[in-house]
A and B are shown apart, each in its own frame.
Chain A
């Protein structure tokens, strides 16, 4: 029997030296990230470093962990996807202050969701890779290549932003902090969203243009009201875990495919028939047309409906074109309906081209308001007040379509009654079908 000795990984670093400028803070921060991973005894194959763009984006190449180097500002979105797909992974985002600007909404959303990733912001107050331009965190008055007379923008308080919006662990410090590796390890251990805003010196640009020093940086942080230290520390449910918990009861229970619709009647239709109902949004026009289509399918017909309505849900027009056909037919627009129901002013406003195209064999059903509408088709006015009971607005579409089916008989009205009875709001819809049939016969 042999003994297996497990040696903890001594370093997560490759042998390659960092590529950063002399005096740059990024190298020391990455060393602390390495120490944190060693402390936590992580398995390099279970760690994914997601790097952003800029100098910080070079970071992942110096670790033996897995890496994802994507697009600028989007690192947190990739990290979110990775974590949701495989919650067992330790996902660490390394970004610069640039990424907090272009990807600000992603940072905010990841904090709100409390996604279990750790974000290390190497915040050197400017864009180091592209020529020392100002970033979201450049202090007011800060001189950069794009703010030569001093920055006029208020700097982003990254920590407060994610902190007040749900992050589990938020720390602000600098590359010089003696306990930084411990803080990073704490962040990684935290199941939820952890962010460490770590200020460091950009010796190529910000230091040079602003005579910025370590002491200056530490003093400035306080004088600008950006306190260092552990700023937010809360135990809230991590998203991927919470997601799986709330769905535990339905997992493994896929929705069964609906049974095909029973064919219970026979239709008399031998040519495709086009019905158009023009009414108001909120009037259940689409639902009414669907019931009429389902009635047709019960009678062995093919059906298709095309709905037109504005982006508003319960205001404006709602016009549905409905085809009933004895054979399968390709999706096509209705030009000249065989039957049209015009049941509201909103619908009337859209009805013109249809009415103009209809011939003398076609039928228009409408309310008394539009008794004299302009068309060559036969016009039949049905007064909703003639119904035994007041017709609710939301039933008007089905009442008029039912009247149309009763009058033109593409299929038996009983098939329509069955379709109305089979769906939701069965009672109301059945009453509408019967009212329509009654008014048609009156």
Chain B
């Protein structure tokens, strides 16, 4: 029944897809500092945002860049910033501010090989735990990870949606290869998106946490009457407080608004073909080789389930547990020392969890995953 309409393809990189996704989601502000391999996003935003009436800035450093974004959001903008390992390290304190002040903001981490300056043009997935725990306090973070160019677009939009839904920073975790590799993309593979809505109330308290998981519409400077924003422990009016009842309620709210709504965040691609002893769990760039390995294993007669995690944090525990049902062996390929595998081990309980890891700047090959899955 299939009619073969002429395929419609373009040849673009992931950075371009992220920039388009941000603009389609309604982004009006960007600030970033040059850093390989994230500079493509900075340069494209400097070029493209003014065309849609937005503002793009090159900050004096990464601290200033994310600081400007937070200020701009409170001034009514929707903001994106993008960096890599050394820069996300400098973002740390302001990620905390965005969590505490409940600032919707999308942060792209284009991973490169670390630690420190590491390999600027070298792929890695070493920030997967850092983006979860990279600011003081240990409060929940939402982290999405695309595994190809269309997903880079789709998950950028999704990141804006979730940041508005939960009034919090959302991290889009990508890497050098996903951001810079050019690939043919079916232009019909991109979902149709609407600009992400934000409700701004023009009066009333800037914060509320009754019930604990409820997210109050935000305020913006200049829209309605005066209001307060603070990174200090605060009451609903944004006044500094040390009253245990208030402090507890605020901090429980920061947890509950995300943890109680994990089902709205979970995004996992499960490629199952009947019962399988082996499950390959991957994310990001490594999902490319993992998907190919699953195909190859099946072709050789091995029953295998492929799982690609698109919402890394909070851990999509429900979907993962379901996918692990009946499996004896879980293979986790990743370009780091086995960072996400720790989470899989916890969820997989007594199953055999095997890592396939490279930290030499090379991509994991299909053959390496096939070997580990057998």
Contact = CB atoms under 8 A, between A and B. Distances in A.
Interface of A: 44-48, 50, 60-61, 64-71, 74, 77-86, 88-89, 105-106, 108-109, 240, 243, 247, 250-255, 257-258, 260-261, 263, 290, 293-294, 296-297, 300-311, 328-333, 335
B228 A85 contact: no
Contacts of B10: 258, 260-261
A75 to B, nearest CB: 9
Interface of B: 6-11, 20, 23, 28-29, 31, 36, 47-48, 50-53, 55, 57, 59-61, 63-64, 67-77, 79, 93-94, 97, 101, 120-121, 147-148, 177-178, 180-184, 186-187, 220-222, 224-232, 238-240, 285, 287-289, 291-292, 362-367
B29 A70 contact: no
Given A263-B6, A330-B289, A331-B148, 16 more contacts: A48-B221, A68-B71, A68-B74, A70-B67, A70-B229, A71-B94, A74-B63, A82-B75, A85-B74, A86-B221, A243-B50, A297-B9, A304-B184, A329-B292, A330-B288, A335-B367
B63 A77 contact: yes
B228 A82 contact: no
B92 to A, nearest CB: 11
Which applies to chain A's interface (DSSP): helix, strand, loop or mixed?
A: mixed
A261 B75 contact: no
A105 B362 contact: no
List of 8 A-B pairs having minimum Cβ-Cβ separation, nearest first:
A81-B71, A77-B67, A85-B75, A331-B288, A330-B288, A260-B8, A304-B183, A78-B71
Nearest to A84: B55
A81 B70 contact: yes
Contacts of B182: 290, 293, 303-305
B29 A332 contact: no
A395 to B, nearest CB: 20
Contacts of B93: 71, 74
A254 B23 contact: yes
B183 A332 contact: no
Contact of B72 (A81, A296, A335): A81
Given A70-B70, A81-B69, A105-B60, A330 B291 contact: yes
A85 B63 CA distance: 18
Contacts of A105: 60-61, 64
Contacts of B365: 332-333, 335
A330 B148 contact: yes
A61 B228 CA distance: 8
Most chain B C-beta atoms within 10 Å of own C-beta, residue among A45, A46, A66, A254:
A66
Contacts of A290: 11, 182
A80 B71 contact: yes
Most chain B C-beta atoms within 10 Å of own C-beta, residue among A61, A77, A257:
A77
